[in-house]
Chains A and B, each alone.
Chain A
């Protein structure tokens, strides 16, 4: 038996070997591990979650975590507590894995500061005979959009920061901020690319 204190890094290294049985991603990169504490006598407390409640792999995954961490030299016992608060979401995943799945942050050609940049619209909007909505830039290039985008574009009056626009939009849609933030940023990027906002 080793008398050396086990480090949290050793525990995380072991957890990185523990793969989700269904998705080829380890439990750390998947964002399932919320906390690791090594108590005296090398007793390891792990707080983790599952991607969904009632996950059929609950027992398997907990068993695997205990097994992998239990193999670390010196570990005496592993306690795993499953927690649901905060609930898991995709933002808890490692950004590289998220990127691989196509959920990464968009590649930004225009770098905007969320706190200082105040998008200001340029161009015009028009409604076609068939009911479709068009945004036209000053070069008269048209982009077919929906009502939500027109409303967002109209709200870009140069007096609100990206963060304020995101808050306003989230409240209007009745959705959590984090759910709309990425879309708002993508939308601003696209409007900038289309020369419908002042850079």
Chain B
């Protein structure tokens, strides 16, 4: 694996999806670059069955599917070698305000250090009401703004915010959530890595 990763990191562009499920989003990412060989893709999934499904789905030389916990793999990457990290509907342990203390180092240290300058972290996440009532505009914007602030403090500046998931993205849970748009609203946030300590001029 380590050797594979070295090869991957020599690619002109490196795209990593964390928790890729059965690989549908990864397949879409590969299609977006129309088979550009200078791009290396890594999909990481801890569930073996899903990882095997992803292997069947996205079978290309410049795609590596890894069946493992993503923290254990990310740490093997050189610093500043990833262009884009994608997380679609991360587990609440990695996004919920309640678990903020727990997940902060993961983004603020691990992902931040592995992204190149100008590297982008793309997160698609769901916004739900605590009582599972329809999500009001106020609840939605409060939670989204909280995420933007939290990620800013972890070293990421918001580049784009889009209501809902990217149109072409599909996965088991994305499609389930799309079917309940009142109670489960989704947002796509693209953050660019920022220098945490601005340089004095």
Point out the residue from A52, A89, A102, A106 that lies within 8 Å of B84, measured CB to CB.
Answer: A102
Interface: B178 (CB within 8 A): yes
Point out the residue from A21, A90, A190 that lies within 8 Å of B160, measured CB to CB.
Answer: A90
Is there contact, CB below 8 Å, between B34 and A193? yes
Interface: B194 (CB within 8 A): yes
Q: Which of A37-63 contact B (CB under 8 A)?
A: 51-52, 57, 60
Most central of A67, A144, A180, A184 by chain B CB within 10 Å: A144
Is there contact, CB below 8 Å, between A175 and B163? yes
Q: Mask for B119-160, Cβ within 8 A of A = 1, else 0?
A: 110000000000000000000000000001000000001111
Is there contact, CB below 8 Å, between B118 and A97? yes
Which residue of A has the minimal Cβ distance to B155?
Answer: A22
- B13 surroundings in chain A (CB, below 8 A): 102
- Minimum CB–CB distance from A141 to chain B (whole Å) comes to 14
- Minimum CB–CB distance from B87 to chain A (whole Å) comes to 15
Which residue of B has the minimal Cβ distance to A57?
Answer: B198
Interface: A146 (CB within 8 A): yes
Q: Please, how many angstroms separate the alpha-carbon atoms of A106 and B196 in the complex? A: 31
Point out the residue from B32, B36, B159, B196 that lies within 8 Å of A186, measured CB to CB.
Answer: B32
- A173 surroundings in chain B (CB, below 8 A): 164
Most central of A22, A90, A147 by chain B CB within 10 Å: A22
Q: Is the interface of B mostly helix, strand, loop or mixed?
A: mixed
Q: Please, how many angstroms separate the alpha-carbon atoms of A145 and B28 in the complex? A: 10
Which residue of A has the minimal Cβ distance to B179?
Answer: A147
- A24 surroundings in chain B (CB, below 8 A): 117-118, 195
Interface: B5 (CB within 8 A): no
Interface: B105 (CB within 8 A): no
Interface: A183 (CB within 8 A): yes
Q: Please, how many angstroms separate the alpha-carbon atoms of A174 and B192 in the complex? A: 27
Point out the residue from B36, B168, B192, B198 that lies within 8 Å of A21, measured CB to CB.
Answer: B198
Interface: B31 (CB within 8 A): yes
Q: Mask for B156-175, Cβ within 8 A of A = 1, else 0?
A: 01111011101111100011
- B163 surroundings in chain A (CB, below 8 A): 175
Interface: A167 (CB within 8 A): no
Is there contact, CB below 8 Å, between A22 and B158? no
- Minimum CB–CB distance from B66 to chain A (whole Å) comes to 21
- Minimum CB–CB distance from B12 to chain A (whole Å) comes to 11
Q: Please, how many angstroms separate the alpha-carbon atoms of A89 and B196 in the complex? A: 22
Is there contact, CB below 8 Å, between A67 and B120? no
Q: Please, how many angstroms separate the alpha-carbon atoms of A147 and B165 in the complex? A: 13
Is there contact, CB below 8 Å, between B167 and A183? yes
Is there contact, CB below 8 Å, between A21 and B195? yes
- Minimum CB–CB distance from B109 to chain A (whole Å) comes to 17
Q: Please, how many angstroms separate the alpha-carbon atoms of A183 and B28 in the complex? A: 12
Q: Please, how many angstroms separate the alpha-carbon atoms of A64 and B34 in the complex? A: 41
Contact A147 B175, CB 8 Å, known A25-B118, A106-B34: yes
Subset of 10 A-B contacts with CB under 8 Å: A23-B195, A24-B117, A24-B118, A51-B157, A51-B158, A89-B160, A101-B83, A146-B174, A146-B175, A186-B168
